[in-house]
Structure 1
Amino acid sequence: MRVITAILFVFLLLLQHRLWFGKNSVPDYLALEADVARQKETNEKLVQRNKLLYADTDDLKLGVEAIEERARNELGMIKENETFFRIIPNDNKPRTTK
């Protein structure tokens, strides 16, 4: 009876070793689970970015206003007979005299 118990105990130790330290062990599973969570977060950010890009392309396909807005903001274009004013904030602090 003691021999069978010893053999079963050795098998139990071998199985525990494989469970905790072998290939596809519990730490490997936890690391993969964390990788999947990070990838899901990245994918969600990309889905949101894609939605914005699709909305942008729809605006550009359907309306002239979106094209005009982009031309003004990104290319600095102005309409004919239109005056452009650039307001530059004054970041200079008042000088104090000693």
Structure 2
Amino acid sequence: MVNRVVPLVLMSLLAIVHAQLWLGHGSVAYVKELQQQIQEQNAANAIEKAENDRLASEVNDLKDGLAMVEEKARSELGMVKPNEIYVQIMKK
């Protein structure tokens, strides 16, 4: 009787471990899904970092030089210097 109980207990423990590996919270599919989410988040972070770097560069330009301020005023606000004529050409 003892000779049959030990293998049955070991086989049932093995079945439980395999069920957890393939179906449980730490399963292979769950880990792959988490890895995919990490890759997507890293890609999104890289895009946001590039945008942050661009904005930081623009802020530094605005702090350091008046040329950037003048360029922004001309392009975004349509400002002109004294005795200057603003001409806008519309494409058809």
Taking structure 1 as the reference length, what is the TM-score of the superposition?
A: 0.83
Aligned with residue 87 of structure 1, among 81, 86, 89: 89
Q: After TM superposition, where is structure 1 displaced by more than 4 Å over at least 4 residues in a row?
A: none
Amino acid at match of 2:51: R
Comparing 17-26 and 54-63, the one that deviates more: 17-26
For 2:80 and 2:26, locate their aligned partners in 1 and report how far apart those are by CA, in whole Å.
63
Counterpart residue number, 1:62: 64
Amino acid at match of 2:17: L
Show CA shifts across 1:26-71 (max 9, x none).
2211111111111111111111111111110111011111001101
Aligned with residue 43 of structure 1, among 42, 45, 64: 45
Gaps of 5+ in 1: 91-98
Amino acid at match of 2:7: T
Structure with a larger share of its residues in helix: 2
Counterpart residue number, 2:9: 7
Gaps of 5+ in 2: none
Taking structure 2 as the reference length, what is the TM-score of the superposition?
A: 0.88
Identity among equivalent pairs (%)? 33
Number of equivalenced pairs: 90
Deviation at 1:24, TM superposition (A): 2.1
